[in-house]
Amino acid sequence: MLKALKVGLVIERANRRNLVALIAVVMIVFGFMFYIKAQAVGNQLIEKKGDYYSTQAILSKFQVKDASETGDGSDIFKNLTKQKSKIALQIATLTMDRQSMYYESSLQLAELRQEAFQLEGYHDIAELLPSKLQNSMDYLYFKWMNDAGRDTITDLFQYIPFLLFFFSYVGAGWYIFISFQTSSILLDDFEHSSLIQGFPVRFDSYILSKCMISLLAILTSFLLIFICASPLWIVHGLGNPLDPVGIYVGDAVLISSVQYIAMSLGYMFVISIFVMLLSIILNVLLKNMYLTLFVHFILFFLPMIFPSLISVFPYNPFNFMNFNDILRGVPVDLAQPVDITMNLGLIILFICIILMLFAIKTFFSTGKIKRA
């Protein structure tokens, strides 16, 4: 086992794919920084102006003139008029740098939207407003901030807020990243089989050594993310690690920023093991890197291209690969809602990992390594 690990490390040290992967991690982290700056992400004033114009466009669909309590407008029209007023107040408080008032008005806006869900005619405009689940998360967030008496707005260029933003989107591409990194996990060594045929190496020991080396590379990628973001800590400060984040775990709940980051890292690690074992099986069966990648992409993108498949096959492990969508409760808001959670995803992924390990041990462990 130790000999297999030693030889594997020698081979991987010269593998350019690992260097390219690490460079890609660096570029992605700095790319996120550039994106935040260029697109003014997190600028509440710009976002609220967009909300204001959106609400104004919705109100223009109603043929009424009087939005007072006794006027001729419908209940949903009056509710939307109040929403528009609260959004205008949000814009004013942000302009005057009165953050505590901003959180208070935001909480009132979330309460108005909760009321709107029960009003006649809401379904006609539902697609133009936040979903019930998103509004529930907003309500919990603004209530927490209001109760805590916060008078500052999160700066995404601080260390913890940036990492939170990064890990809230990285799930969309993590499966693809690991697929590229492991697509030839066995094929590269088969090209250098003479290096590992000088001593007896059973396939299961070989597989274990390859997994350990790949996991080491993945942990290095994790470490590199934190290192690349560290200049933000020096220049802009740490940020508050206890700031709340809304997630869906069967219900809308709040967790701290560091909890979300730790949860994301753990989920990414489990996904990495799943993808790595699947790549091993595909390498043995297909003996081709491009076919391995093709199968990976088909399995990953199929639920995205055809969302109805999620409701047909809710326990498909590939439904859980974009864990950020699961934490945001996106499947709950599909045309055919599916109530799947991160905990369910972890259970399914662990079952799949055990089954793949059993398959590798049972069907592929048949003696010494031989040239492919």
DSSP secondary structure string, 123-189?
GGTGGGS--HHHHHHHHHHHHHHHHTT------TTSHHHHHHHHHTTTHHHHHHHHHHHHTTTTHHH
Cβ burial of 21 (10 Å; 0-12, 13-18, 19+) is buried
pLDDT of the residue at 346? 95
pLDDT of the residue at 121? 83
From the list 288, 34, 328, 27, the residue with the least C-alpha distance to 177 is: 27
Dihedral angle computed from the Cα positions of residues 74, 80, 86 and 90, in that order, rounded to the nearest 10 degrees:
-170
Radius of gyration of the chain (CA): 25
**What does each of the 372 residues of the chain score in pLDDT, given as a tens digit?**
566 566 566 666 666 777 888 899 999 999 999 999 888 787 788 888 888 888 887 777 776 555 555 566 688 888 888 999 999 999 999 888 888 899 999 999 999 999 999 888 888 888 878 899 999 999 999 999 999 888 888 889 999 999 999 999 998 899 999 999 888 888 866 655 555 555 456 666 777 878 888 888 899 999 999 999 999 999 999 999 999 999 999 899 999 999 999 999 999 999 999 999 999 999 988 888 999 999 999 999 998 888 888 888 999 999 999 999 999 998 988 878 888 999 999 999 999 999 999 988 887 765 444 444
* Helix or strand (DSSP H, E) at 78: helix 75-95
pLDDT of the residue at 13? 64
pTM, entire model: 0.88
**Chain-centre distance of CA 234, in angstroms?**
26
User: Can you state the percent helix, strand and coil of the chain, rounding each to 5?
Assistant: 70, 5, 25
pLDDT of the residue at 32? 93
As a residue count, the chain comes to 372
pLDDT of the residue at 189? 60
Cα–Cα distances (Å) from 315 to 173, 199, 308, in that order, read 21, 43, 13
Whose tokens are 């009132």? That residue is: 108
Q: What is the rounded distance in angstroms from the CA atom of residue 359 to the CA atom of residue 363?
A: 6
Cα–Cα distances (Å) from 360 to 203, 252, 282, 325, 353, in that order, read 9, 39, 11, 31, 11
Q: What is the rounded distance in angstroms from the CA atom of residue 62 to the CA atom of residue 48?
A: 22
Q: What is the rounded distance in angstroms from the CA atom of residue 142 to the CA atom of residue 105?
A: 9
Q: What is the rounded distance in angstroms from the CA atom of residue 160 to the CA atom of residue 240?
A: 7
pLDDT of the residue at 371? 43
pLDDT of the residue at 264? 95
DSSP state of 363: I
Q: What is the rounded distance in angstroms from the CA atom of residue 108 to the CA atom of residue 106?
A: 5
CA atoms within 13 A on the CB side of 207: 25
DSSP per-residue string spanning 201-257: -BHHHHHHHHHHHHHHHHHHHHHHHHHHHHHHHHHH----TT-EEEEESSSEEEEEH
Dihedral angle computed from the Cα positions of residues 228, 232, 238 and 242, in that order, rounded to the nearest 10 degrees:
-70
